[in-house]
Structure 1
Amino acid sequence: MSNPSKPWDGALVRKWLARRLDVSKLDQAAADRRGYEARDDYDKTAAEEWVCRALQAPDCTEEQTPFAQRLKALIGHEEYHATGVYDDVRFERHVRSHLRKVAKMAKANDGFEKMLHHQ
């Protein structure tokens, strides 16, 4: 499932999720201030926030296999509900996209060390 030379680091994954959650809140506020033309940016960052919140449970981040199973279960959902988004279809598309991104990172066990604002 991952590179055997690099062990799974649950603390690093939780730190990455917390950092991305904070960044998504800041980006949502910035998009909200920009107004109408930034609705897609707002929905995109709201989707990232939703994904990070859904994955922050410590019982699923300690080991790689439960984390991958949680991601697979979330990807299998039909709908993702959130209040305050502008377009539900666009929001759900962004949620699925972000879930796939994190799933690739989890499978490769790579990318969680990147803590920059923009990725």
Structure 2
Amino acid sequence: MSAPQAPWDPAQVRLWLERRIKAARSDQDVADRYGRDREDDYDKAAAEEWVCEQLRHSDAIEDQARLGEALKALLAKDDFYRAGVRSEQRFEREVKTYLRKLIKMAASNTGFGKMLRYQ
């Protein structure tokens, strides 16, 4: 038998998003210091920050189903833009990957309790 699913906690999700934004910004700073060697890491962190920023102040966080719908709507977009990324294609690929991860997390209501920097 599986354990019962924990109730949806919007405050926990907001806190998780805040911490992921801080971690992504820190990762971008580190990647920036290393230059060309870490351009991939920079774009990946920029994608994570962009996605979390899109959701941080959204009302969709209040309801698990609405968050899933909001994530799917973001994934359906054709164009993702953020100034300063190293490669637009890599950034868009990382945004889509991160959105898919969050869709799975929102559907199963798991992972939002993980507050460690590296996940």
Query: TM-score normalised by the shorter chain: which range applies?
Result: over 0.9
Give the Cα separation in 1 of the matches to 2:78 and 2:72. 12
Which residue is 1:53 aligned to?
53
Which residue is 2:11 aligned to?
11
Which residue is 1:33 aligned to?
33
Give the aligned length: 117
Q: If the length of structure 2 is used for normalisation, what is the TM-score?
A: 0.95
Which residue is 1:96 aligned to?
96
1:106 partner letter: A
Q: Deviations over 1:54-97 (max 9, x none)?
A: 11124111110111111010010011001000100000000000
Give the Cα separation in 2 of the matches to 1:70 and 1:116. 25
Give the Cα separation in 2 of the matches to 1:41 and 1:5. 34
Which residue is 1:109 aligned to?
109
Which residue is 2:42 aligned to?
42
Percent pairwise identity:
49
Give the Cα separation in 1 of the matches to 2:35 and 2:26. 15
Q: If the length of structure 1 is used for normalisation, what is the TM-score?
A: 0.95
Look up the SS of the partner of 1:35 in the other structure.
helix
Contact 2:5 2:109 in 1 (8 A): no
Q: Deviations over 1:5-33 (max 9, x none)?
A: 41100000000000000000000000000
Contact 1:14 1:58 in 2 (8 A): no
Runs of 4+ in 1 over 4 A off after TM superposition: none
Of the structure 1 ranges 74-83 and 52-61, higher mean CA displacement relative to structure 2 is found in 52-61
Gaps of 5+ in 2: none
